[in-house]
């Protein structure tokens, strides 16, 4: 009964959402991104979770620098492909999958994809979701303040940012 109640509430709160995350996990994950970025440089994480049809639910953050300790050294994220081996092993062991990635950008304005982001998806598989957090995650942010992008393949993306973000990405009690 609890599961169906959760699904019903989530469906009413965000009927079109494709990605969801519990509030506490999102808050703690962003705080950790801010800490790792030290207010000076980008940081990021893979979001692991489960998928049910088109809907994905985040259950864990795996920070890029846990997989590639040098990836934050230049100020922007430069992730060595060797870090994917441990990531895939972790996914198999935990019976989870990468449902999205998140990384920070500087600046207070809306978080937008850079040319490097568009040309270098963290997971180059159609359907992958990339979230971009402004201001190096130094302040609380709602989904509407994020850059929310879905990879279509061949370096093409669908932008779900701004007012559409809250319908695509749900953060809440029933995430």
Residues 57, 11 contacting (CB under 8 angstroms):
no
pLDDT of 173? 78
- DSSP per-residue string spanning 108-149: SS-----HHHHHS-SS-STT-EEEEESGGG-S---GGGSEEE
pLDDT of 4? 61
pTM over 0.85: yes
pLDDT of 16? 66
**What are residue 83's phi and psi, to 5 degrees?**
-70, -15
pLDDT of 10? 54
Homologous superfamily of domain range 2-172:
Cytidine Deaminase, domain 2 (3.40.140.10)
pLDDT per residue rounded down to tens, the chain (175 residues): 455 666 666 556 555 689 999 999 999 999 999 999 999 999 999 999 999 888 999 999 999 999 999 999 999 999 999 999 999 999 999 999 999 999 999 987 778 999 999 999 999 999 999 999 999 999 988 899 999 999 999 999 999 998 889 899 999 976 5
Cα radius of gyration rounded to whole Å, the chain: 15
Residues 36, 65 contacting (CB under 8 angstroms):
yes
Distance between CA atoms of residues 62 and 59, nearest Å: 10
**How far is the CA of 122 from the CAs of 7, 46, 99, in angstroms?**
29, 9, 11
Torsion sign over Cα 173, 109, 131, 44? negative
pLDDT of 6? 63
Q: In what order do the strands lie in the sheet with 44-52?
A: 156-159, 147-153, 129-133, 97-104, 44-52, 55-63, 19-22, 169-172
Half-sphere exposure at residue 32, Cβ-oriented, CA atoms within 13 angstroms: 17
H-helix or E-strand spanning residue 21: strand 19-22
pLDDT of 107? 84
């Amino acid at each position: 009964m609890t599961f169906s109640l959760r699904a019903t509430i989530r469906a009413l709160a965000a009927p079109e959402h494709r990605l969801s995350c519990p509030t506490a996990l999102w808050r703690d994950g962003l705080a950790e991104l801010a800490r790792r970025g030290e207010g000076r440089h980008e940081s990021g994480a893979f979001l692991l979770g489960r998928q049910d049809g088109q809907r994905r639910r985040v259950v864990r953050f795996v920070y890029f620098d846990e997989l590639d300790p040098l990836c934050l050294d230049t100020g922007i994220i430069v992730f060595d492909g060797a870090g994917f081996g441990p990531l895939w092993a972790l996914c198999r062991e935990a019976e989870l999958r990468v449902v999205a990635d998140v990384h920070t950008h500087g600046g207070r304005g809306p978080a937008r994809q850079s040319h490097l982001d568009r040309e270098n998806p963290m997971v180059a598989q159609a359907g992958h979701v990339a979230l971009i957090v402004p201001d190096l995650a130094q302040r609380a942010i709602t989904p509407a303040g994020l850059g929310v992008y879905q990879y279509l393949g061949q370096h093409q993306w669908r932008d779900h940012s701004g007012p559409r973000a809250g319908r695509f990405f749900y953060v809440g009690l029933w995430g």
